[in-house]
Chains A and B, each alone.
Chain A
Amino acid sequence: MTSQAYLLLLALADGRQHGYGLAARVRELSDGDVRLGAGTLYGNLERLLGAGLIADDGEEVADGRARRYYRLTDDGLRAARAETLRLAELAARGSRALGARDLLGAEGVVGGAA
């Protein structure tokens, strides 16, 4: 799963959302690192729709504009949880690796003299 798709799933974890709302939420979740344009956003949405991870939740008028809403499916929620767990385990392994390095000293190189 790409980081953009993962962020979109997380953005929908709060509830249904429309395109612009999703782009804003992704920017917020990524602390401003990921700015999705319309092309990238809808390319990802289309792939997630095709994979059944999100669903079209109909069209509504919001702020004077017709908006199509999207929602997370059960499969999408499971995929987001699995990816979160995977990233958490990766972060834990990363911390352990860095912790081992720290035990050797600030300039220590594993398996050799500095």
Chain B
Amino acid sequence: MTGPARSGPAGGPGGSPGEGCSRASSSGATRYERSVRWWLNAYPRRWRVTYGDDLVATALELAVPGRRRFGVREGLALARAGWALRRRERPPWRVRVRVVLLGAPGVEDRVVHRAWLVDRALSPWLRLPGHLAFFGSIALLNVHAGLRGGSFVFHVVAAAVTLLAVVGPCVVPTWGRRASRAAWRALFPDEPPPPTIAPSPRPAPAHRPRDRGFGAR
């Protein structure tokens, strides 16, 4: 959204008071921006997509010249505001349990708690606690069964694979986007997934030799 604000010298005639940090050096501006974005993670992804770049651009302009990092006090204010927003938008526990266990909210919940549902669909980390509670129990049962008898190696491997399947979407971006698209389709079956969780475009193939047919070599 805000390409020019991301790095490099700040544009704009007249200049703003805080542009010193972006003028100082592109690496300094990038480091400052990175620290702002780190604190910004307190906000839900949905909010960051809409307002994140604007906030970063404003933070760069308000920055004291020469500062290389976002101040801790300001960062804590940002984090508090982000977590307060998450707390305000969190539905009652009955709705949360229904969504976690059944995976499908009621029609009214889709409207009233849309913000929370969208956040949940977009972020694998928000789905992780529910998945851990369910699949983690299965993994523990597997280990328990392995200790009681039978093939210990089989049960431990099964438990490890189950846990990997749960944690994988959080640490592998492509996997996370795929899982998020599936979650989106379950929560909002009538709406196409947003571009933020669209599959990453495949790189164009480099030179591909003409197919000479089977056994040409």
A20 touches B61 (CB 8 A): yes
Cα distance, A64 to B16, chains bound together (Å): 12
Contact with B along A21-57 (1 / 0, CB 8 A): 0010000000000000111111100100010000010
What's the dominant secondary structure at chain B's contact region? helix
B11 touches A64 (CB 8 A): yes
Asked if A16 lies at the interface with its beta carbon under 8 angstroms from chain B, I say no
Question: Within the complex, what minimum Cβ distance (angstroms) separates A47 from chain B?
Answer: 8
Cα distance, A37 to B13, chains bound together (Å): 23
The number of residues on chain B lying at the interface, defined by a beta carbon within 8 Å of a beta carbon of chain A, is 38
Enumerate chain B residues within 8 angstroms of A46, measured Cβ to Cβ: 47, 51, 81, 85
CB < 8 Å: which of B11, B47, B84 contacts A65?
B11
Cα distance, A64 to B61, chains bound together (Å): 13
CB < 8 Å: which of A18, A39, A59, A67 contacts B78?
A39
Question: Within the complex, what minimum Cβ distance (angstroms) separates B19 from chain A?
Answer: 10
Enumerate chain A residues within 8 angstroms of B159, measured Cβ to Cβ: none
Question: Within the complex, what minimum Cβ distance (angstroms) separates B26 from chain A?
Answer: 15
Q: A19-B55, A39-B76, A39-B81 are in contact. Are A66 and B2 (CB under 8 A)?
A: yes
Q: A38-B78, A39-B74 are in contact. Are A66 and B53 (CB under 8 A)?
A: yes
Enumerate chain A residues within 8 angstroms of B5, measured Cβ to Cβ: 65-66
Enumerate chain A residues within 8 angstroms of B84, measured Cβ to Cβ: 43
A20 touches B78 (CB 8 A): no
B71 touches A37 (CB 8 A): yes
B84 nearest in chain A by CB position: A43
CB < 8 Å: which of B10, B11, B58, B79 contacts A38?
B58
Q: A20-B61, A39-B75, A50-B88 are in contact. Are A66 and B1 (CB under 8 A)?
A: yes
Q: A38-B58, A50-B88 are in contact. Are A43 and B1 (CB under 8 A)?
A: no
Q: Tell me which residues from 1 to 44 in chain B have a Cβ below 8 Å from any Cβ of chain A.
A: 1-5, 10-14, 16, 36, 39
- Residue numbers of B with Cβ under 8 A of A are 1-5, 10-14, 16, 36, 39, 47, 50-51, 53-55, 57-59, 61-62, 70-71, 73-81, 84-85, 88
Ordered by A's residue number, 26 sampled pairs between the chains whose C-beta atoms are within 8 Å are A19-B54, A19-B57, A20-B57, A37-B73, A38-B55, A38-B70, A39-B76, A39-B78, A39-B81, A40-B77, A40-B81, A42-B55, A42-B58, A43-B77, A43-B78, A46-B47, A46-B85, A63-B12, A63-B14, A64-B4, A65-B4, A66-B53, A66-B54, A66-B57, A67-B54, A68-B50
